[in-house]
Amino acid sequence: MKQTLIIFCILFFSFTSFSQESINESSNFSEQEIEENDEYKNRLSIGWAYYGRGNGVSAIYDREFFEFFSQGIGVEEYFVEDEVETSFFLVTEIPIQKYLNINSGLEIYPGVEYGSFGGEFEAHPFLGFSYPIGKSSGIYTEIGSRGVFGLYLKF
């Protein structure tokens, strides 16, 4: 529980610093330039981990860098029999829809999660798909050594 609290504090302070950075950057541009560059770089994904280690919940915060890849941190809680298994990990994703000129809104991103899963260091590759259902929100699924389905919010 203490580790979960620490991870969420890190997420909160990261969000605060990235938000301040975005506010400072946007104050230097005119309104027209802001509207043209209305692209979100931060993403918070919350979902249901429906296979792999069992049933659980997943929360991932990531940030896009150079429109080439995104890097983030995540935490998952799995409910296995009468126990709760907590996993902490880093995640790297590459948005390949940009390279394939897919402009339908569908995002395709292969990635890898690496960190502490069940107390052991592991790396898990996956293929993710997401589709917007609003200007800054949408649904996603990731399929690999585990499966996750959920909602995301870009900011």
Buried b (16+ CB within 10 A) or exposed e, 58-71: bbbbbebeeeeebe
H-type alpha helices, 41-141: none
Structural domain contains residue 46: yes
- Residue 66: the pLDDT is 85
CA 120 → CA 41, 69, 107, distances in Å? 31, 26, 31
> What pLDDT does 118 receive?
82
Is residue 80 scored above 90 in pLDDT? no
Q: What total number of domains does the chain contain?
A: 1
Higher-scoring residue by pLDDT: 140, 23: 140
* Residue 3, domain member (yes or no): no
The CATH number linked to 55 is 2.40.160.20
Q: Is residue 20 included in any domain, yes or no?
A: no
Q: Look at residue 136 in the predicted model and tell me its pLDDT.
A: 94
Cα 77 to Cα 38: distance, rounded to the nearest angstrom: 34
Host domain of residue 82 = 40-154
> At residue 54, does pLDDT exceed 90?
no
